[in-house]
A and B are shown apart, each in its own frame.
Chain A
């Protein structure tokens, strides 16, 4: 493990920001700390950086306990949420600042700064001040400034929060590529699951100061271990009377989470579903929202309101129309854990529903039928 947190606790007065946090990160990973605001993710990042100190527990970087080592000596680069660019320094001076403090000689500083300007595509902007740059360019400067002294660990606090939605998409790809190019172990904080899934190769989900789950984006998505994760990841609907749904028995659970992609709704004459039609039940379309690349349907199924997506390529549908509905699976949860429940009728029928799905889903997760 390159970075390790052991039994970390952190309080701010009465508020416990971190509760017994434990995790390790391997060298070269790009890790997202994902959670809602106030979940303690930024505190964890700041403790790794040394901007905050844990009340108890150990932080280990590269085999060394760093609790008593000042932030400047931990060999980290930090990209602040609002970038914290030095407003009275040019781009060049911003990037060179850390190197000057390390007393590099002038020629070497110049070479290093130019190298980073090249890498981040900021050539030609070195004489500008931060306020003369766009949001995306500022992020690049912050990134270059953090990388300049060759840190072995890069920490980024909500790196995309200050950027317009449109540019954000582009920058995610850019940042991911850049980090792989440099090959630096990186941890970033985000509250946006899309961002975490898209950029990171490992996700740490935090909630109320605790670590909920650690895993690859796919694992987190497919096998949420806790009620919180099952609800937080994906576009989830929480229901309590899940046992009313066909194919599911009442268990010792508090409720269940259903994602849109677990719900199939089709017109009664749809030929593709004719061998499963007797596993379906009737629901009514009560609302239709246009989501740009698909429709979002709200369906009333025996009093349970479910959400599903419908490809724009499929036949048109109206509010009030009766449809047949099948639920493939859902995540039932008790107080502590989440459990994947498959539709038992589909299992009994021995229908390999993963194959059924393969033609129901396109690569980006939407229906193609």
Chain B
């Protein structure tokens, strides 16, 4: 081993150690901390904490908002990524940037945006009112379930399209053109030609979108005020934690542990999918 190689080895060990320590301290320790805190008062307390009316209501609201957001954003993601990768048109780059907006703005602003649209001050409030009057319904958006769903959709809006666009770009549009040339209709092309390329990315995008939807806090916080009715799990965690007693804080961690477990499952899936898609990609890349 010469001097340079020895130096390389030392660097390698130092860098790996730094990385592992960083990840342990910054990422793993909090994870363990949640679980440890949640079980602080024993298993029976843990179970009890999870079976309050508030938690089960929050669980239902969270699932509802997540399902709606994932459905909407998956549909949008498929359509938008197809549009942005299979056609050339003016303003394409601008459109791509606009779709990414929710990534870089504060979730609180998302909440504010819906309040300013549908709330008492909002320009759309009279429209909703007149609809309610005409139909005899009592639809409320802000501080109600539709608002929670809208906020969740907003913050997870680009997740699916963002996963799909690079894959579709790498694939090119030759195959679709060839199929169109043979007379295939749009949906046939998508189903037979495009879809097999994006399965993995789509699945991963959906999972990421799900994870983010389950955990959304800031935007929903602005739009949901009724515990036990429109609170989602993160809001319930917030309420329990801010209640301040030792028991409620432990309960808050107990509810958190549910979401942590989901997060871990997401990460495991991600790992599997990434490997799956990488292998597939390599297999099929050579055919291009």
Cβ of B41 under 8 Å from chain A:
no
Shortest Cβ distance from A142 into B: residue: B178
Contact yes or no, B179 A97, CB < 8 A:
yes
Cβ of B268 under 8 Å from chain A:
no
- The one of B184, B188, B288 in contact with A82, judged by C-beta atoms closer than 8 angstroms, is B288
List of A residues within 8 angstroms of B197 by Cβ: 87-88
Cβ of B91 under 8 Å from chain A:
no
B159-198 to A contact mask, C-beta < 8 Å, 1/0: 0000000000000001101111111100010001100110
Question: How far does the Cβ of A223 sit from chain B's closest Cβ, in whole Å?
Answer: 37
Interface with B: A72-80, A108-116, A306-314, which one? A72-80
Contact yes or no, B182 A85, CB < 8 A:
no
Cβ of B1 under 8 Å from chain A:
no
List of B residues within 8 angstroms of A11 by Cβ: none
List of A residues within 8 angstroms of B183 by Cβ: 70, 72-73, 98, 101-102
Question: How far does the Cβ of B198 sit from chain A's closest Cβ, in whole Å?
Answer: 11
List of B residues within 8 angstroms of A87 by Cβ: 175, 196-197, 284, 287-288
CB-CB under 8 A for A72 and B180, given A88-B284, A131-B287: yes
Tell me the bound Cα distance from A76 to B188 in angstroms.
Answer: 20
Tell me the bound Cα distance from A84 to B287 in angstroms.
Answer: 9
- The one of B174, B182, B196 in contact with A98, judged by C-beta atoms closer than 8 angstroms, is B182
- Total count of chain A residues near the partner, CB < 8 A: 28
List of B residues within 8 angstroms of A133 by Cβ: 287
Shortest Cβ distance from A74 into B: residue: B181
Cβ of B44 under 8 Å from chain A:
no
Q: How many A-B residue pairs have CB under 8 A?
A: 67
Shortest Cβ distance from B286 into A: residue: A131
CB-CB under 8 A for A71 and B283, given A86-B175, A87-B175, A87-B197: no
Question: How far does the Cβ of A153 sit from chain B's closest Cβ, in whole Å?
Answer: 12
Cβ of A23 under 8 Å from chain B:
no
A132-145 to B contact mask, C-beta < 8 Å, 1/0: 01000010000001
- The one of A80, A85, A89, A101 in contact with B188, judged by C-beta atoms closer than 8 angstroms, is A101
Question: How far does the Cβ of B134 sit from chain A's closest Cβ, in whole Å?
Answer: 45
B197-227 to A contact mask, C-beta < 8 Å, 1/0: 1000000000000000000000000000000
Contact yes or no, B175 A84, CB < 8 A:
yes
Tell me the bound Cα distance from A234 to B229 in angstroms.
Answer: 82
List of A residues within 8 angstroms of B287 by Cβ: 85, 87, 129-131, 133, 138
Shortest Cβ distance from A99 into B: residue: B182
- The one of A71, A131, A149 in contact with B180, judged by C-beta atoms closer than 8 angstroms, is A71
Contact yes or no, A80 B178, CB < 8 A:
yes
Cβ of A51 under 8 Å from chain B:
yes
Shortest Cβ distance from A98 into B: residue: B182
- Total count of chain B residues near the partner, CB < 8 A: 21
Shortest Cβ distance from A162 into B: residue: B288
Contact yes or no, B181 A49, CB < 8 A:
yes
List of B residues within 8 angstroms of A76 by Cβ: 181
Shortest Cβ distance from B88 into A: residue: A12
Tell me the bound Cα distance from A87 to B287 in angstroms.
Answer: 7
Question: Which residue of A82, A87, A97, A133 has the most chain B CB atoms within 10 A of its CB atom?
Answer: A87
Contact yes or no, B182 A149, CB < 8 A:
yes
List of A residues within 8 angstroms of B288 by Cβ: 82, 87
Contact yes or no, A86 B193, CB < 8 A:
yes
Shortest Cβ distance from B174 into A: residue: A84
- The one of B177, B182, B184 in contact with A51, judged by C-beta atoms closer than 8 angstroms, is B177
CB-CB under 8 A for A78 and B175, given A129-B287, A130-B287, A131-B283: no
Contact yes or no, A72 B174, CB < 8 A:
no
Tell me the bound Cα distance from A175 to B193 in angstroms.
Answer: 27
Q: Would you list which residues of chain A between 19 and 56 have a CB under 8 Å from chain B? A: 49-51
CB-CB under 8 A for A72 and B175, given A87-B287, A131-B284, A131-B286: no
Question: How far does the Cβ of A354 sit from chain B's closest Cβ, in whole Å?
Answer: 48
Question: How far does the Cβ of A55 sit from chain B's closest Cβ, in whole Å?
Answer: 16
List of B residues within 8 angstroms of A97 by Cβ: 179, 182, 184, 192
List of A residues within 8 angstroms of B284 by Cβ: 87-88, 129-131
- The one of B178, B196, B285 in contact with A78, judged by C-beta atoms closer than 8 angstroms, is B178
A159-196 to B contact mask, C-beta < 8 Å, 1/0: 00000000000000000000000000000000000000
Question: Which residue of B179, B182, B197, B286 has the most chain A CB atoms within 10 A of its CB atom?
Answer: B182
Contact yes or no, B196 A88, CB < 8 A:
yes
Question: Which residue of B286, B287, B288 has the most chain A CB atoms within 10 A of its CB atom?
Answer: B287
Tell me the bound Cα distance from A49 to B180 in angstroms.
Answer: 11
Q: Would you list which residues of chain B between 240 and 288 have a CB under 8 Å from chain A? A: 283-288
List of A residues within 8 angstroms of B175 by Cβ: 84-87
List of B residues within 8 angstroms of A73 by Cβ: 183
CB-CB under 8 A for A84 and B188, given A101-B182, A149-B182: no
Shortest Cβ distance from A97 into B: residue: B182
Shortest Cβ distance from B199 into A: residue: A88
B35-63 to A contact mask, C-beta < 8 Å, 1/0: 00000000000000000000000000000
Tell me the bound Cα distance from A129 to B280 in angstroms.
Answer: 13
Q: A80-B178, A131-B285 provided; 20 other pairs, C-beta below 8 A?
A: A51-B177, A70-B183, A71-B180, A71-B181, A73-B183, A78-B178, A80-B177, A84-B175, A84-B178, A85-B175, A85-B287, A87-B196, A87-B197, A87-B288, A88-B197, A89-B192, A101-B182, A130-B287, A138-B287, A149-B182
The contact sample of 15 A-B pairs, CB cut-off 8 A, is A71-B181, A72-B183, A76-B181, A78-B178, A80-B177, A80-B178, A84-B175, A84-B177, A84-B178, A86-B178, A88-B197, A101-B182, A131-B285, A131-B287, A145-B178
The chain A residues found within 8 Å of chain B, CB to CB, are: 49-51, 70-73, 76, 78, 80, 82, 84-89, 97-98, 101-102, 129-131, 133, 138, 145, 149
